[in-house]
Structure 1
Amino acid sequence: MPAEPLTATPGPDDEIPLPGGNVGGAVRVGDTVRRPTGPWTPAVHELLDFLAAAELPRIPRVLGIDDRDREILTFLPGRVLDIGRETLSDAQVRSAMHWLREYHAVVAGFPRDTRRWRFVERALAPGEIVCHHDSAMYNMTFDGDELAGVFDWDVAGPGIPLDDVAMFTWNSAVLFPDADAAEVAHALHTIADGYGGLDPHAVLDHVITRMTDAADRIAAAQAAGDPGMLRLGEAGEPANTRARLRVLASRLPELHAAVDATR
């Protein structure tokens, strides 16, 4: 009778691929995460170090660069919800929005001079901050209803706070093409109220602007040969985003009416 197969337990130096990773591909090594670097990495590390010094919670800490030129970050606890299969609870949305507002308040003090970000090299314009620019549920971990961590800061760069709110809104299931209008309206109110001081109509309209800009940036980076953005092309981007945007634009009157009807 053959022996039962042994189940290997990962050692402290074993690399465990992390889910997702359409852009870069990350692996876990012990209590750290290793990710590819690029010309934007020094600016991102400066940003993360600034946030750490300001004691902003729920972000990875920079530990250095390994011998394969990968960045070394602390591993964040919590669970990532499966986009397309799971939806965020209202409490999770509010927790994420509370953190996002706190992040925007802290990062407003980040030095405004020129840096090389992933999509642009310039200083911050008046009214701009450094946005995360991919503050979506697939880049967040949760512990129950509480946000536990926010990762994947590679596309951070100049923007306005509403950019991050619009990105979060776009990547929640409520803006999928077949989403029920009343559910969309409820989610928009929850997002706007969770962040505080936002008009849900403005959030909805800005999604069109923000995601059109995102599609254009991805296409430009693909034309320039950015390996991470080329991998997004293999996943159908930015064509998928542009197709969804056309559907969303056609539904705007219906969705704005639903927002009004829920108050």
Structure 2
Amino acid sequence: MKLVKLGRVDRLLAVRLGQVVVDDQRHPGRGIDEYRRLRRRLADHARSSDSESIARSACGSADERMLLEIAPLGEGDRMEEQDEWPLAGGAQTEGLVRVGDTTRRPPHHRSLYVDALLLHLAEVGFVGAPHPLGYDHHGRQILTFVDGEVPHAAPYRLSDARILSATTLIRGFHDATTGSPLCAGLEVVCHGDLGPHNTVFRGEEAVALIDFDADVGPGRRLDDFAHAVWCFADLTEADVAVAEQVRKTRLMCDAYVDVTPAAIVEALTARFHRARGQHLAAGRSGGVRAFDDLLQWMKRFGGRVAAA
């Protein structure tokens, strides 16, 4: 096992993956398999001993015992009998359900990285994200459920108050990851799909970012925030006046600080070109046409946004 000098949460991740912090794409399921093996081992000890403390002592190291802090023994069993309610997540999410006060979601190849990220956020005092609770008997990731409203109908036409609150939350999220080994030497950890559809609101306040999917990982602030502006400011939406899109882009950049509308346009244009190329390589003509339309919008109106 290769370990680097890590903090408590990041060392936990390395133990669980059996590798350095950044996910090894060659063995995408190894971390979860190891986690399940350890949980079975601990559960067997707990059943045979009537003492959770004895079960904990069965772990081979302090690093293994640290895993139990994510999901105390028996927690999954206590929640299994409750009803499941389907939830609407990001555009890429399927199988997301609510069970009691938890959210269950199918694991992806970066689920354990997400666990470590969410634990890190909690440790540094960022409360605007769910907390990981382990994995249930179906292998699904368990997260605390964050109650509130999640907008899903684009264009969103959010109030300025909601946009400003969400921008502050996003800036806090990025700042909370800066300097962590989870950044793997890059600027921040990026959510990858920031938008109203992945933000929980209570009234005019944005209280949490949700749906940390497989796109979560190290990257640039600008790229992650540009995606947020695309969604929150209703950029490229035909049913929203361009002047309003320009105004909200400026509003978000001023609130985030140190980002200009011109930089947003540049980052989004590059993103659209990359996505078009990926769809083209995969033979998805519909995707190519969609991003051709987005690039045409940028060619027509991007200058107005950049000059805001």
After TM superposition, is the score higher than 0.5? yes
Q: 1:100-149, CA deviations, whole angstroms, 9 ceiling, x for partnerless residues?
A: 1111111013215xxxxxxxxxx735x43210111111000111111021
Where do 1:177-256 residues align within 5 Å? 177=238, 179-214=240-275, 238-239=287-288, 241-252=290-301, 255-256=302-303
Measured after TM superposition, the shift of residue 42 of structure 1 is 1.1
Structure 2 CA distance for aligned equivalents of residues 216 and 128 of structure 1: 25
Q: 1:136-182, CA deviations, whole angstroms, 9 ceiling, x for partnerless residues?
A: 11000111111021101112012100111111122232321454221
Instruction: Determine if contact 2:226/2:267 at 8 Å carries over to the other structure.
Output: yes
Instruction: Determine if contact 1:64/1:71 at 8 Å carries over to the other structure.
Output: yes
Q: Which residue of 1 aligns with 2:221?
A: 161
- C-alpha root-mean-square deviation of aligned residues, in Å? 2.7
Instruction: Determine if contact 2:98/2:104 at 8 Å carries over to the other structure.
Output: yes
> 1:16 is matched with which residue: 85, 92, 95?
85
Q: Could you list the runs of 5+ residues in structure 2 that have no partner in the other structure? A: 1-79
Measured after TM superposition, the shift of residue 203 of structure 1 is 1.3
Q: 1:188-212, CA deviations, whole angstroms, 9 ceiling, x for partnerless residues?
A: 1111011112211211221112343
| Larger helix share, 1 or 2 | 2
Counterpart secondary structure, 2:181: coil
Which structure exhibits the higher relative contact order, with contacts defined as CA atoms closer than 8 Å and separated by 6 or more residues? 1
Structure 1 CA distance for aligned equivalents of residues 212 and 265 of structure 2: 24
Q: Scaled by the length of structure 2, what TM-score is found? A: 0.66
Q: Which residue of 2 aligns with 1:152?
A: 211
Measured after TM superposition, the shift of residue 29 of structure 1 is 0.5
Instruction: Determine if contact 2:155/2:240 at 8 Å carries over to the other structure.
Output: no
Give the % identical residues.
32
Q: Which residue of 2 aligns with 1:138?
A: 197
> 1:31 is matched with which residue: 89, 101, 122?
101
Measured after TM superposition, the shift of residue 256 of structure 1 is 2.5
Counterpart secondary structure, 1:83: coil
Cα distance change on mapping 1:198 and 1:133 into 2, 3 Å? same
Cα distance change on mapping 1:41 and 1:82 into 2, 3 Å? closer
Greater Rg, structure 1 or structure 2? 2
Where do 1:24-63 residues align within 5 Å? 24-25=93-94, 26-63=96-133
Structure 2 CA distance for aligned equivalents of residues 250 and 67 of structure 1: 50
Measured after TM superposition, the shift of residue 184 of structure 1 is 1.7
Q: 1:37-76, CA deviations, whole angstroms, 9 ceiling, x for partnerless residues?
A: 0221111111111111112021000001000000000001
Measured after TM superposition, the shift of residue 245 of structure 1 is 2.0
